[in-house]
């Protein structure tokens, strides 16, 4: 890439000042009278036309407020934002994380051996596979019982201590892949600096059978180091200092700090500063998951990511799942002004998936300045939230159906169950009940129920407005054959690249997180003020009064 091209990528034009943006604004006016009912009535093949598929993962985006023209205009916007060039820049290892001067290469974590991806002239793929092989050897030893604790006991519980990307990814993936896990080894996750978290995670454990993984990219994160210290004193109180090397391993980019903490760097699994924390579950940060599901299944997981990477890099935008999801999100966020986005998995195993996506999306795209530091003209990342259906249906779906706020949502479902549940002999098939709800919700949200339809059912006139559903509420449906390690990898990479697509359109850096720094600095200042009763707190009057009140408590 020439210097001029690199400069153009680093300082993109204000996307809101482009003719593609103006065309979308005009198109929004054309679409103002269009409803999902009308769109489906006008085109009986719509439910098959507005779909895309890759490696068995099927996206139905027909229940969105869009036409073929909308897609055409959104794709033109992506081209104007130079999405292809930015994708290539990422895969080539260019330093697209400009504020930290780093490449962004989570795609290298799942690159098959033999692929060449260079950072400063060095191919990083062999190094990725060397660490994967070390992880596999270690995971095999723990799973087989060859790795023993200091007293010769087998490890039966692994406790991952980390926070943010060093917690949410493995915690989510462990839950998601429970069906593929060795039930003889349980994995727990400690993240909150609240001492109850580590206390609860260890209170019923036998130190002799417990292995701690201290996971921290920087190995400077206060929460993680405090929890690791607490875990260490819990262990050494029972087994003595010399037990640490058999019960603690580390995952980090920072060997020096790992050694300073007292963990032998022989027991450290490394990754690299070109992997962002929230993009790191496919790195050694996933060690706890590998111990649970085994090396072969973990590599299947990585293969799912890799398949989605190839799709993102090669499929035309009109059939490209992450690009479509990203652009539809821009359509709602920027043109309709919708502020939130829900992710609703119809799988209990994906319980933690929305929380994982919160960090992925909101830490990446919660930005107000563009790559060149100028205020960004567009509205950037939405508020991302959700929980598994059908539980959400009995909680907040009321607002989704009849509230004054419109929340576009992704519904995730799986054709085959991981467990069959009760079958026809004992009542309605349990998985069919789940899937029926999964389908019914998007149908109800899209088409609603008119006042005429409600009245025709004989509902008392005064109740008709209460029982009317406005409909026209947009959703995407993602359908996979079954929740497997491969499919989970596909889904994670799908959302990573969706976030990338949106960040590119908005011209922001999706790979830094300066917004978390100020709170960390202020907390560091407050700790001594809370603990030293005579010190003068030096803050605003509210914070000062609260500190004095807590000191007195």
Ligand X SMILES: O=P(O)(O)OC[C@H]1O[C@](O)(CO)[C@@H](O)[C@@H]1O
Q: Which residues are catalytic?
A: 363, 394, 520
The CA radius of gyration of the chain, in Å to the nearest whole number, is 25
User: What is d(CA 283, CA 299) in angstroms, rounded to the nearest whole number?
Assistant: 11
Q: Tell me the HSE value of 51 on the side-chain side, using a 13 A CA sphere.
A: 15
> Cβ closer to ligand X: 165 or 489?
165
> Cβ closer to ligand X: 160 or 390?
160
> Which residues 6+ apart lie within 8 Å of 340 measured at CB?
382, 383, 384, 385, 405, 407, 408
> Cβ closer to ligand X: 334 or 361?
361
| Shortest spacing between CB 359 and ligand X, in angstroms | 7
Partnered with residue 252 across adjacent β-strands are 270
Chain centroid to CA 105: how far? Answer: 16
The closest of 82, 109, 175, 13 to 496, measured between CA atoms, is 109
| Shortest spacing between CB 225 and ligand X, in angstroms | 9
Tell me the two tokens of residue 25.
């604004």
| Shortest spacing between CB 218 and ligand X, in angstroms | 3
Q: Is the peptide bond before 390 cis (omega within 30 degrees of 0)?
A: yes
The closest of 253, 244, 327, 241 to 283, measured between CA atoms, is 253
- Write out the H or E segment, with its range, that includes residue 545: helix 541-552
**Alpha helices by DSSP H, 366-484:** 397-402, 430-447, 451-456
| Shortest spacing between CB 520 and ligand X, in angstroms | 7
Q: Tell me the HSE value of 221 on the side-chain side, using a 13 A CA sphere.
A: 25
421: region left, alpha or beta (phi > 0 left; psi from -120 to 50 alpha): left
> Cβ closer to ligand X: 218 or 391?
218
Partnered with residue 410 across adjacent β-strands are 343, 476
The binding site for ligand X (CB under 6 A) comprises 163-166, 216-218, 221, 224, 277-278, 363, 513, 516
| Shortest spacing between CB 252 and ligand X, in angstroms | 8
| Shortest spacing between CB 261 and ligand X, in angstroms | 12
> Cβ closer to ligand X: 161 or 243?
161
Question: Token match 């079954």: residue?
Answer: 482
| Shortest spacing between CB 230 and ligand X, in angstroms | 16
Please state the length of the chain. Answer: 553
> Cβ closer to ligand X: 118 or 273?
273
> Cβ closer to ligand X: 164 or 392?
164
**Alpha helices by DSSP H, 281-427:** 287-293, 295-314, 321-330, 353-358, 364-365, 397-402
């Amino acid at each position: 890439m020439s210097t001029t091209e690199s400069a153009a990528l680093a300082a993109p034009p204000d996307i809101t000042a482009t003719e593609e943006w103006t065309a979308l604004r005009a198109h929004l006016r054309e679409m103002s009278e269009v409803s999902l009912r009308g769109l489906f009535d006008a085109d009986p093949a719509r439910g098959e036309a507005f779909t895309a598929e890759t490696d068995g993962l099927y996206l139905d985006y027909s229940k969105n407020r869009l036409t073929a023209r909308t897609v055409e205009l959104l794709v033109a916007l992506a081209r104007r934002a130079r999405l292809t060039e930015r994708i290539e820049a990422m895969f080539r290892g260019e330093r697209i994380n400009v504020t930290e001067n780093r490449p962004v290469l989570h795609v290298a974590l799942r690159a098959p051996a033999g692929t060449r991806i260079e950072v400063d002239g060095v191919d990083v793929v062999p190094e990725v596979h060397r660490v994967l092989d070390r992880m596999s050897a270690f995971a095999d030893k723990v799973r087989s019982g060859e790795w023993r604790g200091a007293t010769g006991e087998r490890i039966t519980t692994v406790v991952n201590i980390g926070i943010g990307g060093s917690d949410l990814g493995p915690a989510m993936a462990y839950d998601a892949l429970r069906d593929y896990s060795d039930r003889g080894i349980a994995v727990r996750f400690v993240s909150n600096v609240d001492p109850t978290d580590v206390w609860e995670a260890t209170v019923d454990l036998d130190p002799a059978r417990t292995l701690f993984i201290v996971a921290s990219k920087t190995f400077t994160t206060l929460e993680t180091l405090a929890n690791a210290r607490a875990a260490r004193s819990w262990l050494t109180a029972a087994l003595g200092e010399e037990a640490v090397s058999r019960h603690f391993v580390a995952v980090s980019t920072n060997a020096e700090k790992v050694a300073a903490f007292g963990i032998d760097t022989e027991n450290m699994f490394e990754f690299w500063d070109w992997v962002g924390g929230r993009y790191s579950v496919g790195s050694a940060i996933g060690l706890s998951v590998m111990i649970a599901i085994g090396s072969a299944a973990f590599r299947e997981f990585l293969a799912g990511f890799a398949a989605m990477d190839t799709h993102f890099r090669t499929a035309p935008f009109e059939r490209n799942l992450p690009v479509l999801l990203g652009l539809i999100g821009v359509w709602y966020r920027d043109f309709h002004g919708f502020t939130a986005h829900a992710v609703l998995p119809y799988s209990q195993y994906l319980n933690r998936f929305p929380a994982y996506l919160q960090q992925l999306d909101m830490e990446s795209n919660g930005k107000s300045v563009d790559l060149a530091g100028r205020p960004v003209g567009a509205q950037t990342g939405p508020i991302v939230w959700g929980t598994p259906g059908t539980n959400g249906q009995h909680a907040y779906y009321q607002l989704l159906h009849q509230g004054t706020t419109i929340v576009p949502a992704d519904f995730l479902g799986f054709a085959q169950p991981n467990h069959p549940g009760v079958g026809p002999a004992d009542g309605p098939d349990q998985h069919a009940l789940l899937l029926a709800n999964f389908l019914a919700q998007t149908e109800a949200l899209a088409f609603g129920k008119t006042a005429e339809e409600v009245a025709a059912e004989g509902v008392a006139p005064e109740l008709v407005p209460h029982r009317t559903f406005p409909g026209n509420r947009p959703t995407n449906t993602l359908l996979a054959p079954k929740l497997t390690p491969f499919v989970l990898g596909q889904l994670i990479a799908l959302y990573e690249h969706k976030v990338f697509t949106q960040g590119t359109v908005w011209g922001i850096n999706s790979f830094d997180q300066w917004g978390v720094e100020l709170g960390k600095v202020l907390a560091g200042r407050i700790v001594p003020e809370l603990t030293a009763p005579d010190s003068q707190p030096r803050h605003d009057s509210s914070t000062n009064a609260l500190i004095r009140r807590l000191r007195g408590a």
